[in-house]
Amino acid sequence: MTELIIKNGFVYDPLNRIDGEKMDISIRDGKIVESVKEKANGINASGMVVMPGGVDIHTHIAGGEVNSGRLLRPEDHVKDVEVKTALTRSGVGYSIPSTFTTGYRYSKMGYTTLMNPSMAPLEARHTHEELADIPMVDKAAYPLLGDWWFSLEHIRDGLIEENAAHIAWMLQATRGYAIKIVNPGGLEAWGFGRNVHSLDDVVPHFNITPREIIRGLCKVNRLLNLPHTIHVHTNNLGKPGNYVTAIETMKCVEDLAQGDKPVIHITHIQFCAFKGSDWSTLSSGAGEISKYVNNHNHVTLDMGQVIFSNTTTMTADGPFQYGLYNITGNKWVNHDVETETSGGIVPFKYKRSSAVHATQWSIGLEIALLIEDPWKILMTTDHPNGGPFTSYPKILAWLMSRAAREITLSKINKRARKKSLLPSIDRELSLYELAIVTRAGQAKALGLKPKGHLGVGADADVAIYNIDPQRLDISKEYKVARKAFKKAAFTIKDGEVVVKDGEIVKPVTGKTYWIDVSTSMPHEINDDIKKKFREYWTVEYENYPLPDSFIHSSFPIPVKAEV
C-alpha cells in the first residue's frame, strides 16, 4: 500500500467545484482517497497550483498516419533530439516526436491521458503497437467509422440497430474508444479522387449523404451508450466559407439531443470556422459559431489552435490533404484504406506574415473566448495539425492574458490584424477555467469518469505547477505562468511522482482504455461480418480483431448497449 499526500496546494478541481481552495490531496494505491496516515510521503505544494492531470481529447500521437509523417520528415527531427539518459530512451522531437519522446514531453507538462483520434480499423494493430511504446500516460484511440462500407450501407438502408451492433463489434475488434467521423462520405468519394461538398451531396456509388451518415452514427452512438459522443471532423474542412457547414453539422443532430447532454463533438473547430468566398476574402466565422454554441447545449468543441511554426498536417481527410498539397506544392503522402477510410500528410508552415495563417490563429482564440461556457470548448492544437502539443503553454498564455494576445497580434499580418475580433475581446480565463479547458472539460466530454478531477475515487493523476495564485497575476505575468505550465513542478501518475521540476524521475507505462460494448446479437454480427469479409477486405476475418493479449495494459470499460 503506497500513500502520498499533496499538502497545502491551491487546488483547482472544477468537476468538484473547487476553485483554488488551499487543501491537501490524499492518495492511496493510485487513487484519490479521503485521507492517508500521517507518516505518508508528502509533497509540499504550498504556493503552487494543484490540478488533475491534463487530458487531451484529440492528439495524433500514434499509428499509420502519424508514423508516415515521422518517416516523411527527417529534416524536422534533426533539429530537435532527445539524448538517452539512465531513465529514459532517446528519440527525436519537434512536430511529430518519436513515441518515447511523445510520452515524456506530455508528462513533463503535467498531462496524463491522451486520446489518439484517428485509427484506420484495418491498421488498429499498428496504433496499439505504438501506443504501447508511449510511456507515462494513459491512452485510447478512436476508430474511423464514418466511411466504413458497413456504416454507409446500413444507414442508407435504415438499419441503424444492425449498424450499432456492427460498430460494437468494431470497437471490440480494434480496441477503440469512440466513433470517429472524418469528412463523412468524402473519404469514400476520394477512393476515385472525388469529394463531397455539402451535407446533402450524394456519395458516389452509395446513394447516401453526409447528413444521413452523421445522423445515423449519432443514433448509433446513443444506442450503444458510448461514454463519448460522435467525434466529427466536418465536411469542407479548411475551405473558405465552411463555417456554414460546421453550423449545419451541429444543427443536423439538434433534434437527437436529450436534455443537456452533448451528442456531437466537433473537433478542431478553427479549421471549420472560415468565412469568405475565397482565400483573399477569408475572415473569421468565430462570431457565428460561438453564437450558435452559446445557444445550444448538444455540442462540445475543441480548438485546433494554430501556432506559428513549421509543423506536419495529417488527417484521414484525403481530399483535404490533397488540396493542401496543391496549395503548397510540398511533399505529400496519401494513404487510402480499403472499405474504411483514407489519409494524407503534408508538411506545413504557419507564418505570422500570412493573412490566412494569422486569421486562422485569431479564429481559434476568438472561438475559445467567445464561447461563454468553458465546458464546451477544449484546448487542443489538433496536434500536430495546428502545431505541436509542446506549444500548449503558449495557448494557455493567450487565453489567460489579453496582454499576451496583444503582443502576438502586433506581430501578425496587418490585414489579418485589422479583421481580427481579438482586440474587441477582454475576456481572460482564470486558472479555474484553464483547468476546465485542459482537463476537467476534456474528461467530461469523453465520459472518462476517473479522470479530470481529484474527488475521492478518481485516478491519482495530478499535475502541480509552480504558480502561486495569491501572488501571481497570471494576466500580467503570463510569461511566468507559461513557463510553469511548460515544466510541471510535479506530475503524479497513478499515485507515483513521475516528473519533478519538469524532468522525468520515474518512467511508467500507462493503460489503454477501450469500450467493451455488450449487445444482444454478437453472434449474428460475427456471422454477417464473416460472410462479407473476403469480399470487403484483403485480410482474413480471423486476423482482423486484436486479441486482448496484444493490448498493452488493456483497460476495457464495460458498456451495455440498447441493441
Partner 1 sequence: MAVITGVTCPVCGTFCDDIELIIENNVIVEARNACAMGAAKFLNYSAHRTKKPLIRKNGELVEVSMDEAVEKAAKILVDANYPLMYGWSNTSCEAIRTGLELGEEVGAVMDNTSTVCHGPSILSVQDVGIPSATLGQLRHRADLIIYWASNPWSAHPRHAERYTMFSDGRFEGSTWKSYLSRLRGVMSRKKIQRASNLVLKQDFCFTPQVEEGLPSSVHQKRRRTIVIDVRKTRTADAADCFFQVEPGTDYELLQALRVLVNDGELDVDEVAGIPIETLEQLADLLVNCKLGIIFFGLGLTMSKGKHRNIDAAINLTRDLNKRTKFLIMPMRGHYNVTGVNIVFTWQTGYPFAVDLSNGYPRYNPGETSAVDILSRDEADATMVIASDPVAHFPRAASKNIAKHPLIAIDPEVTPTTMLADVIIPPAFVGIEAEGTAYRMDHVPLPLKKVVEPPETCLSDQEILQRILQKVRELRRDMN
Partner 2 sequence: MIILDPKRAFRFPIEAKNISPDIFAKKSSKEIAALQMWEGNRKGALGDLFNIKNDSGSPSEEFTIKIEGDASKLRNIGARMSMGHIVVDGDAGMHLGEDMSGGTITVAGNAGSWAGSKMKGGTIEIKGNAGDYIGAPYRGSTKGMNGGKIIIHGNAGYEVGCFMRNGLIQILGDVGLFAGIHMSNGTIFVQGNSEGRAGAQMINGKIVICGHTPVMPTFTIDSIKPKVKVDGEKIEGPFYRFIGDLADNGNGKLFVSKTKNPHLSPYEKYLE
Cell of 83: 539524448
Residue of 28, 58, 60, 73 interacting with partner 2 (CB under 8 A): 73
Q: What CA–CA distance (Å, rounded) separates 406 from 262? A: 34
542 is a site residue for partner 1 (CB under 8 A): yes
Q: Which of helix, strand or coil describes residue 156?
A: helix
Angle (CA) 390 384 452, round 5°? 60
Nearer to partner 2, 330 or 554 (CB): 330
Which residues are CB-neighbours of 535 under 8 A, at least 6 positions away? Answer: none
- Secondary structure element (H or E) that encloses residue 82, with its range: strand 81-82
How far is it, in rounded angstroms, from Cα 468 to Cα 481?
A: 9
Cis before 384 (ω within 30):
yes
At residue 317's C-alpha, the angle toward residues 154 and 383, to 5°, is 120
Pairing outcome for strands 344-349 and 462-465: unpaired
- Residue 98 or 391: the one with the smaller Cβ distance to partner 1 is 98
Q: What is the DSSP letter of 96?
A: S
Answer with the entry of partner 1, partner 2, none that 555 interacts with (C-beta below 5 to 8 A by kind).
Answer: none
Residues 246-275 within binding reach of partner 1 (CB under 8 A): none
- Contact window for partner 2 (CB under 8 A) among 72-80, 150-158, 315-323, 382-390: 72-80
For residue 357, give the nearest of 316, 326, 320, 386 by alpha carbon: 386
Among 34, 39, 74, 424, the residue binding partner 2 under the rule CB under 8 A is: 74
x/- map, 286-325, partner 1, by CB under 8 A: ------------------------------------x--x
Tell me the C-alpha distance between 462 and 254, whole Å: 36
- The DSSP line for 338-383 is TTTB--EEEEEE--TT-HHHHHHHHHHHHHHHHSS-GGGEE---TT
Q: Judged by CB under 8 A, which stretch of 75-83, 267-275, 383-391, 409-417 contacts partner 2?
A: 75-83
- Name residue 220's amino acid: V
Strands (DSSP E) found in 161-224: 180-182
Burial of 497 (0-12, 13-18, 19+ CB in 10 A): middle
Residues 179-208 that bind partner 1 (CB under 8 A): 191-193, 205
Binds partner 1 by CB under 8 A, chosen from 277, 295, 410, 538: 538
What's the one-letter identity of residue 120? A
Measured from the CB atom, the residue of 297 and 330 that comes closer to partner 2 is 330
Write out the three cell numbers for 507.
518512467
Q: Which is nearer to partner 1, 12 or 206 (CB)?
A: 206
Which of 37, 81, 294, 530: binder of partner 1 (CB under 8 A)? 81
Site for partner 2 (CB under 8 A): which residue of 21, 41, 46, 78? 78
Q: Which does 288 bind (CB under 5 to 8 A by kind): partner 1, partner 2, none?
A: none
Q: How crowded is the C-beta side of 472, counted as CA atoms within 13 Å?
A: 23
- Looking at this protein, which amino acid is placed at residue 236? N
At residue 240, φ and ψ (nearest 5 deg) are -55, 140
d(CA 233, CA 80): 30
Using CB under 8 A as the binding rule, the residues of this chain from 124 to 183 that contact partner 1 are: 125-126, 129-130, 133
Distance of CA 336 to the CA centre of its chain: 22
What is the closest distance, in whole angstroms, from the C-beta atom of residue 331 to partner 2 in the complex?
8
Stretch that binds partner 2, among 69-77, 233-241, 283-291, 536-544 (CB under 8 A): 69-77
Which of 18, 51, 122, 167 forms a contact with partner 1 (CB under 8 A)? 122
Instruction: Among 77, 219, 298, 394, indicate the residue that binds partner 1 (CB under 8 A).
Output: 77
Number of chain positions touching partner 2 (CB under 8 A): 7
Cβ nearer to partner 2, comparing 70 with 453: 70
Instruction: For residue 159, give the 3-state DSSP assignment.
Output: coil
Q: Which is nearer to partner 2, 76 or 494 (CB)?
A: 76
> Judging by beta carbons within 10 Å of its beta carbon (0-12, 13-18, 19+), is residue 329 exposed, middle or buried?
exposed
Query: At its nearest, how many Å lie between partner 1 and the CB of residue 206?
Result: 11
Q: Which is nearer to partner 2, 282 or 345 (CB)?
A: 345
Q: Contact with partner 1 (CB under 8 A): which of 26, 59, 99, 172?
A: 99
Name which of 74 and 259 has its Cβ closer to partner 1: 74
Q: How far is the CB of 268 from partner 1 (least distance, A)?
A: 22
Q: Minimum CB separation from partner 2 for residue 74, in Å?
A: 4
DSSP codes of every residue in 382-431 = TTTTSS-GGGHHHHHHHHH-HHHHHHHHTTS-HHHHHH-SGGG------H
Site for partner 1 in 17-76 (CB under 8 A): 62, 64, 67-68, 70-74
Of 73-81, 228-236, 425-433, 507-515, the segment contacting partner 2 by CB under 8 A is: 73-81
Of residues 306 through 365, those in contact with partner 2 by CB under 8 A are 331
Shortest distance in whole angstroms from residue 21 CB to partner 1: 42
Residues forming the site for partner 2 (CB under 8 A): 72-76, 78, 331
Residues forming the site for partner 1 (CB under 8 A): 62, 64, 67-68, 70-74, 77-78, 81-84, 89-92, 97-100, 122-123, 125-126, 129-130, 133, 191-193, 205, 322, 325, 330-339, 342, 345-346, 535-543, 550
